[in-house]
Amino acid sequence: MTVQAFDLSGKVALVTGANTGIGQGIAVALAKAGANIALAARRSPDETKALVEAEGGRAHVVMADLSSTQPCERIVDETVDALGRIDILVNNAGIIRRADALDFSEEDWDAVMDVNLKVLFFLSQAVARHMTGWASQDGTRGKIVNIASMLTFQGGIRVPSYTASKSGVGGLTKLLANEWAPKGINVNAIAPGYIATNNTAALQADEYRNRQILERIPEGRWGDPADIGGAAVFLASKAADYVQGHILAVDGGWLAR
Whether 194 sits among the annotated catalytic residues: the reply is no
Q: Is residue 147 part of a domain?
A: yes
Closest-CA residue to 167 (of 189, 183, 149)? 149
Residue 220, SS3 per DSSP: coil
Does residue 198 surpass a pLDDT of 90?
Answer: no
In this predicted structure, the answer to whether residue 1 has a pLDDT above a threshold of 80 is no
- Give the C-alpha distances (Å, rounded to integers) separating 112 from 6, 68, 128, 236: 34, 11, 23, 26
Q: Answer yes or no: is 117 within a domain.
A: yes
Q: Is 216 domain-assigned? A: no
Residue 42 is assigned to a structural domain of this protein: yes
Task: Read off the pTM.
Answer: 0.96
Helices 119-131, 72-83: inter-axial angle, 10-degree rounding: 40
Confidence check: pLDDT of 115 > 60: yes
Domain range for 174 is: 3-197+224-251
Q: Annotated catalytic residue: which of 162, 194, 208, 242?
A: 162
Cβ atoms within 10 Å, residue 113: 17
Residue 49 lies in a domain: yes
For residue 191, being part of any structural domain is answered with yes
> Residue 35 falls within a domain, yes or no?
yes
| Tens-place pLDDT, residues 25-71 | 999 999 999 999 999 999 999 999 999 999 999 999 999 999 999 99
Has residue 77 got a pLDDT over 70? yes
The number of domains in the chain is 1
| CB neighbour list of residue 131: distance below 8 Å, 6 or more residues apart | 86, 87, 142, 183, 184, 185
- Determine, yes or no, domain membership for 209: no
The sign one gets for the Cα dihedral 202, 106, 247, 21 is negative
Residue 176 pLDDT level (bands cut at 50, 70, 90)? very high
Q: What is the CATH number of the domain that holds 31?
A: 3.40.50.720
The amino acid at residue 202 is A
For residue 77, the surrounding DSSP H or E stretch is helix 72-83
